[in-house]
Homo-oligomer: A and B are copies of this chain.
């Protein structure tokens, strides 16, 4: 089928190729003219036969502006799909705005990173049954082969919600491996830490794709000597904790993983300076001064 695709960066560009390889007709738009198939949104709309479907794959910060621009050139019966990393709570207001013009809205959480073009993308979809049905050929082409990798998670917002939870879990998984890795490096007994990690890839309870990647990283740099411990976080981890607070769900593990990243970016912890100050006051404990 035909699909408009706005945003041809690393993710969008790979998706265009995977879709075309599956026989779909993709009209791409990007502010980088070299990547773009059309000059602007109007031309994009013209190239597609109604009812149109346009997938938006742009940074979260410009998603609303991009959708509003598309809304100007699309019309009754068309569908806009947001496949970016939007916060789920932005979806319902968008759907409502578009609905006033008769335009449908579907949100899709997309997982798979740079590996998706080859392996397929994990897709979590929110929207009406009718809209999802219409888009199924696209979803089929993007998802991995086999029985998994696609879910209609619920109404508008559910796709990004599921992706947010996916990423929250990912924080916890990564940190669990990381803690085990650190404990082994601290131990006197395990003299072959990369070998242990590698061995776990088959036959163990902890085998996973992330473990495969950790092994891959250790193959390239057995002591991770090229890296610092400075670790960014993205919106999804924070939103997951916000949801934990809103819904009163105790997420000790995911939150601790997020906080560990926060701490990794501090040159110095003001909290621990305060602890140090207290220890000096009450116990005359020797503390480390500058």
Contact = CB atoms under 8 A, between A and B. Distances in A.
Interface of A: 10, 88, 111-116, 119-124, 126, 143-144, 146-155, 157-158, 161-162, 165-187, 189-192, 195-196, 198-211, 213-214, 216-218, 221, 224-233, 238, 240-265, 268-290
B111 A251 contact: no
How many subunits of this chain does the assembly comprise? 4
B190 A154 contact: yes
Given A189-B155, A263-B263, A203 B144 contact: yes
A271 B10 contact: no
Contacts of A179: 168-169, 172, 249, 251-254, 271
A121 to B, nearest CB: 5
Contact of A261 (B216, B264, B272): B272
A260 B271 contact: yes
Given A146-B202, A253-B253, 13 more contacts: A120-B202, A122-B199, A150-B199, A154-B190, A162-B184, A183-B247, A228-B289, A250-B260, A250-B262, A250-B269, A251-B259, A260-B269, A261-B275
A231 B275 contact: yes
A129 B246 CA distance: 35
Contacts of A176: 169, 171-173, 175-176, 253-254, 257
